[in-house]
A and B are shown apart, each in its own frame.
Chain A
């Protein structure tokens, strides 16, 4: 299995706060070692590796994780809690999962 984390640099050149938060969590939990590669989606450069991956994989937000299994199947995770629960087998609190989704997703049409 290969895990790639795509983090973002904003159009004004500043780092993405959510990406930094996710990296902090991975480091604090020791699970950063499970990440094989970290690539940048630089909004100033559409040719940056992360921006191209986002385009190819139809992802419209960052950070996101690309999980490639040994058979070559690719799964994309845009929700950190979903990723650590399903891929890293980490126990998560449902309230944390729901809050992350609510913060990330644009759900006020419901």
Chain B
């Protein structure tokens, strides 16, 4: 793993590249790389990557609270594509402690961070500590407030090993939801049947709901919590001036 990569330059170079070109670059640059797959429309990354590098590593977080449809869809993807799909699970002792102390629906009372920390971030961090690079399905249009500036490639400072660089690729950053769905339909990519029931952003079953026409997709996640802008972000338009 390199300790310094000029990612800003690479990001600038790849800004106008297609998701496939970004993925190809990522897979050529890193052997120890994996794609995160949520069981939603980020399946397009799996489709693209399996064509570029058959046998590519893909991982999926099984929080234990996903919809039955999502589990079935993950299995569909596993069987359809030439990929090494790894399902990651949360630490059983941590889940047991949380549930014993706070019950099965603590997130409705004291917000979702603790539960997500145990069920998603813990296994994700454990996995990312073994990788040199990972690929996500993040897009700018998923949240104008917090994702408007996401680059196509960046150094992941939250999950890197001490003194090393973990590179994070977001090949779909500049694609819209419409472009993703055009791709899915044009190439007959399988998709989670929940999308046909009004679900746009799909997470755990208790924390995901269908949305109405005109609602932003974020309205379908953690809707009982106050919608506040993340304060920790630094507005890059200011930085770039």
- Residues on A facing B (Cβ under 8 Å): 8, 10-11, 16-18, 41, 43-44, 46, 51, 54-55, 58-64, 73, 75-79, 82, 86, 94-95, 98-99, 101-110
**Are B230 and A107 in contact, with the CB atoms below 8 A?**
no
Instruction: Provide the B210-239 mask, 1 if CB < 8 A to any CB of A, else 0.
Output: 000000000001100000001111111011
The minimal Cβ–Cβ distance linking B161 to chain A, given in whole angstroms, is 10
The CA of A78 and the CA of B124, in the complex, are separated in Å by 17
CB-based contact A77/B157 at 8 Å:
yes
Known contacts: A79-B158, A104-B158. The answer to whether A55 contacts B232 by CB under 8 A is: no
Partner of A98, one of B61, B125, B233: B125
**Contact between chains at B114 and A95 (CB < 8 Å):** yes
Is B177 among interface residues, defined by CB-CB distance under 8 A?
no
Q: A55-B240, A95-B114 are in contact. Are A110 and B157 (CB under 8 A)?
A: no
Q: Is B154 an interface residue (CB 8 A)?
A: yes
Flag if A62 contacts B234 (CB, 8 Å). yes
The answer to whether B203 touches A108, judged by C-beta atoms less than 8 angstroms apart, is: yes
> Are the CB atoms of B157 and A101 closer together than 8 Å?
no
Q: Contacts A18-B231, A55-B239, A99-B113 known; A108 to B221 CB distance under 8 Å?
A: yes
Task: Decide if A62 touches B157 in the complex (CB within 8 Å).
Answer: no
CB of B233 within 8 A of CB of A61, answer yes
Bound CA span A98–B97, Å: 15
Q: Is the CB of B231 within 8 A of A99?
A: no
Q: Does B174 lie at the interface of the complex (its beta carbon under 8 Å from any beta carbon of A)?
A: no
Q: Are B158 and A105 in contact (CB under 8 A)?
A: yes
Q: How many pairs of residues, A versus B, come closer than 8 Å at their CB atoms?
A: 109
Q: Check B141 for interface membership: any CB of A closer than 8 A.
A: no
- The stretch that binds A, out of B22-30, B142-150, B183-191, is B142-150
Cα A11 to Cα B235 with chains together (Å) = 9
Which positions 89-120 of chain B face chain A at CB distance < 8 Å?
94, 112-114, 116-118, 120
Min CB gap B102→A, angstroms: 12
B174 CB to nearest A CB, Å: 15
- Nearest opposing residue in chain B for A67, CB measure: B163
Known: A109-B38, A109-B42. A46 touches B231 (CB 8 A): no
Smallest beta-carbon distance A105→chain B, Å: 5
Which residues of chain B in 40-68 are interfacial with respect to chain A, using CB atoms and an 8 Å cutoff? 42, 61
Complex CA gap A99/B233 in Å reads 17
B8 CB within 8 Å of chain A = yes
Q: Which residues of B contact A61 (CB under 8 A)?
A: 232-234
Residue with the greatest number of chain A CB neighbours at <10 A, chosen from B155, B158, B233: B158
CB-defined contacts of A59 to chain B, threshold 8 Å:
157, 234
- Which of B138, B222, B231 has the most chain A CB atoms closer than 10 A to its own CB? B231
A52, closest chain B residue (CB): B239
Task: Give the residue of A41, A95, A108 whose beta carbon is less than 8 angstroms from that of B234.
Answer: A41
